Structure 1
Amino acid sequence: MSLPTKYPARSHAQRVAEQLGAEFSDAVYLLTSPTLELYPYCDQTQPFRQDRYFNYLTGAHDLSGAAVTYDVKNDKLALWLPELDEEDVMWSGLPLSLEQAKHKYDVDDVKYINEKDAKVDFAGRRLIGIEEIKHSSKYFTALGSGYTVEKKLQDALDLARSVKDEYEIALMRRAAEITDNSHLAVMSALPIEQNEGHIHAEFVYHAMRQGSKFQAYDPICCSGTDCGTLHYVKNDQELGNEKQLVLIDAGAEWQCYAADVTRVFPINGEWTAEARNIYTAVLDMQTQTMNKIKPGQSWDELHLLSHRILVEKFLEFGIFQNGTVDEILAARTSVAFLPHGLGHMLGMDTHDVAGFPNYDDSDPMFRYLRLRRDLKAGNVVTVEPGIYFNNFLLEPYLKDEKHLKFINKEVLDKYMPVGGVRIEDDVLVTKDGFENLTKITSDPDEVASIVKKGIEKGRSHFHVVV
């Protein structure tokens, strides 16, 4: 199946209209892209991040200060460019012309927003948008009056975005490919990675070399016991020999589409017995849950399965005691070691839309689960079980007899230096099952071999750069 030559914006607009239904058959919806903003008291612009809803209806991932309208009744998609700013041209060069934009994007018409004869009179029609639009009111005055925020439009956009078409999947494959190569580079270059910041730099360097200027999110680069912090932000600690593991959670972005991958590897190329136990347990959690992915599968059930495997493994290792798997599951003691969800929707946002989480859930096992729905073909999800040994998270459990009776503190202490392990892949739900878009190995022996080869090569070829 050959892909269209342009981002399929018109089919996306039509898909949103289908979700909205006949109630909105006379509506025209309007979305905008952010304008470039200066830092306060400075003539430098802040980094530009395209509005994901605008991008879904245009594919114009790098276009600022623009608007898009879709006339449902007439099935007409129009792109509205900001009028020419001569001062800006002096500094930044010529923007896209109307003709260039019409050639580049899958739209019916391209006009300038403020050009008099391009103004549209939507009298008697509903001009609707979403609450997140916080850009200049010039869009609304130029394109008509009677603009209203319509929550159902955002719901329709979210549902449409949650099922990826072949073009979107191709973009995500490219993001995943860049991410795989960058993770491999990090694993292979420990001799020149003397601290977590070097790991961060290595990943971003290789992503940018492959054409990805932006990361889908700020990389998480941690080592030692800091691997037990879920969204670690420091990325600046030294990689000392006393530490066992490195964890890097990082994903490249390709034309607004995200990858989100986590890998863990031994800091010296050799797994300790405890680190390997935890790593293989997490890998088993991921393998078993991933193998059950198919349309109609409840994500809650997969999340519960990941906890069941964790409990079984902890009983095997001796970390848990004095109870059956069902008893420990019912007590929710495993939440101390896996406090987050099994995964989330993935797309233009790292934590993508239409996951329907319930952060008010009274059950701590499901409270932070970002995906609470049955899977559909075309969904892309992350599968990212983890096991963490975090003193802050464990303390209340170790003070509560309800949980403490199941925990062997002496054995637990042996595992605390592991810090944490998370293995995360990006998975497409297909009509028959799933496809793992992530290709970088997670096999513990292969991972250790990559690290050791990098260390051996580094002894003769690398020099440390500071």
Structure 2
Amino acid sequence: MNKSESLLISAINMMKYPAKAHARNVQQHFLNKKVSATADNTAFFIASAVLKQYPYCDQTAPIRQNRYFHYLTGIDQISGAYVLYHVLKDKLTLFLPDVDADDIMWSGLPLSPEDALKEYDVDEVLYAKDVENTLKSLKEKNVNIYTTDIDEYSTKPFSKDVISGDIDFFYALDESRLIKDEFEVELMRHAAIITDNCHLAVMSALPIESNETHLHAEFVYHSIRQGSKFQSYDPICCSGPSCGTLHYVKNDDPMDGKTSVLIDAGAEWKCYASDVTRCFPITGKFSKEHLEIYLAVKDMQTKVMEQIKPGVLWDDLHLLSHKVLIKHFLELGLFQNGTEEEIFDSKVSVWFYPHGLGHVLGMDTHDVGGYPNYEDENPYLRYLRLRRKLQKGMVVTDEPGIYFSPFLIEKITEEQKKYVNMELVEKYMYVGGVRIEDDILVTEDGYENFTKITSDPYEIEKIVQKGLNKGKGGFHVIV
């Protein structure tokens, strides 16, 4: 971590997560959406994640904080807590878990109310034992208390007769989370810095990476070294033909005799995600077919990136990426017997690029507010996770890909087959697939790319070759 990055983190750590501003955002969206709701009769109540034990075991599962709770508190690794926002009073109350004297022996002293007030952007700190009376008092004043996931998180006796779930509350939370404020943006910038370093480390460490598991281990190791103990999602680490599996989960095949690597992995920072995919050649030099497909995907991503700005419909950018793919496939001879328009209308490119262009990114990797339609009859759009116009403050991924998977190719219809040079397709099967993914902030008149690890194929070759050369004289850690 360089000096400017260290100063950035120090500045963030000195500031409070803007929980009150987030609560007000939710209030605005909720009151605009729900006709019967007013400032006088509305409150929001959300429970934190529940600490769960594994079945038939005294070990607890790792805590993954309820993201809606985090949005109104900034609290990560605490379970058994609650937050209440009283709209009329603009009052945010945090309820800490009750103190268990026996647990102090095992886990140490819990966070005190005094320390919580200093650390978090709340007006009042009480304990969980105070929740029931606080909620009943509001209910007696005809205040409607809206919550999320009553059965999952709010299992106390007060849950179903005092508070109620409401789809409009989810809408208000999701619309609020969609647009990131400057504090959230800085968290995501830092998550991207950590992820950049991890991807660089993986590219540079081929002398000690002979199995996909080593790619996984290298990424997570460097993530933890930089202070990120959690991944945004389970890393996808694949090689050779397995690169054609979109969400590959094995991560344990040997890499001997293969030419390509695809790693899709992102570190998390204070509950905010990064999501980056890079591909590189195992030998340090792209093969002819691997480079041709890589350059096609790179062009798809670049053409989309040039169009990113507020007001642009994401559907249109996704369709643009398909048109760029078709253009390259015609030039390579993979598509034939038709014009770009005819082949686009046939939708045959779906079997080489079946997923959506990208998605909203935030506290979740596939963040809320994208409003996908997985029942869409149009195969181009069915798996598109973002179906709306871009707005300033949204963070999205730009991640086109091209894949050579036997499971996809077998779905090519008889009508579509005339456009595909199957004999030539066979020569590309060993590549598996290429995906390039960057994290993008939509700005007032364009975009900012959080992802700085290079995607230039020739620079990637140099990084890999440098690592291979260092390995001959004894490999050393770079991050």
Would you say same fold, with TM above 0.5?
Answer: yes
Aligned identity (percent) is: 57
Q: What CA deviation, in whole Å up to 9, does each residue of 1:24-79 have, x standing for no partner?
A: 22211110111211111111110110000000000011221100000111111110
User: Which of these residues, 318, 322, 346, is aligned with residue 303 of structure 1?
Assistant: 318
Specify the alignment match of 2:174 in structure 1. 158
Tell me the TM-score normalised to structure 1 length. 0.96
Specify the alignment match of 1:126 in structure 2. 144
User: Which of these residues, 164, 183, 186, is aligned with residue 202 of structure 2?
Assistant: 186
Specify the alignment match of 1:137 in structure 2. 155
- Is residue 2:372 matched to residue 1:354? no
- Is residue 2:24 matched to residue 1:14? yes
SS of match in other structure, 2:184: helix
Mapping 1:191-206, distance limit 5 Å = 191-206=207-222
Q: Give the letter aligned to residue 106 of structure 1.
A: D
Mapping 1:354-373, distance limit 5 Å = 354-373=369-388
SS of match in other structure, 1:40: coil
Q: Give the letter aligned to residue 16 of structure 1.
A: V
SS of match in other structure, 2:115: helix
SS of match in other structure, 1:111: strand
Q: Give the letter aligned to residue 405 of structure 1.
A: K
2:289–2:431 Cα contact (<8 Å) kept: yes
CA distance in 1, matches of 2:272, 2:298: 26
Specify the alignment match of 1:401 in structure 2. 414
What is the Cα deviation at residue 175 of structure 1? 0.6
Mapping 1:39-50, distance limit 5 Å = 39-50=54-65
CA distance in 1, matches of 2:345, 2:185: 39
Q: What CA deviation, in whole Å up to 9, does each residue of 1:166-210 have, x standing for no partner?
A: 000000011100000000000000000110000000000000000
Name the CA shift for 1:238/1:251 in 2 (closer, same or farther; >3 Å).
same
User: Which of these residues, 405, 417, 432, is aligned with residue 419 of structure 1?
Assistant: 432
Specify the alignment match of 1:103 in structure 2. 118
- C-alpha RMSD of the superposition: 1.8
User: Which of these residues, 338, 344, 363, is aligned with residue 329 of structure 1?
Assistant: 344
- Is residue 2:300 matched to residue 1:285? yes
User: Which of these residues, 39, 47, 53, is aligned with residue 38 of structure 1?
Assistant: 53
Name the CA shift for 1:167/1:116 in 2 (closer, same or farther; >3 Å).
closer
CA distance in 2, matches of 1:117, 1:445: 62
Tell me the TM-score normalised to structure 2 length. 0.93
Specify the alignment match of 2:246 in structure 1. 230
What is the Cα deviation at residue 361 of structure 1? 0.3
CA distance in 2, matches of 1:410, 1:73: 69
Q: What CA deviation, in whole Å up to 9, does each residue of 1:247-267 have, x standing for no partner?
A: 000000001100000000001
| Number of positions where the alignment pairs a residue of Structure 1 with one of Structure 2 | 459
Structure 1 residues without counterparts, runs of 5 or longer: none
Specify the alignment match of 2:4 in structure 1. none
1:113–1:119 Cα contact (<8 Å) kept: no
Structure 2 residues without counterparts, runs of 5 or longer: 1-7
What is the Cα deviation at residue 140 of structure 1? 3.1
Structure 1 consecutive aligned stretches of length 4 or more whose deviation exceeds 3 Å: 1-4, 115-120
Q: Give the letter aligned to residue 145 of structure 2.
A: L
CA distance in 2, matches of 1:251, 1:132: 31
What is the Cα deviation at residue 131 of structure 1? 3.1
SS of match in other structure, 1:263: strand
CA distance in 2, matches of 1:37, 1:360: 34
Mapping 1:168-183, distance limit 5 Å = 168-183=184-199
1:111–1:118 Cα contact (<8 Å) kept: no
What is the Cα deviation at residue 243 of structure 1? 1.2
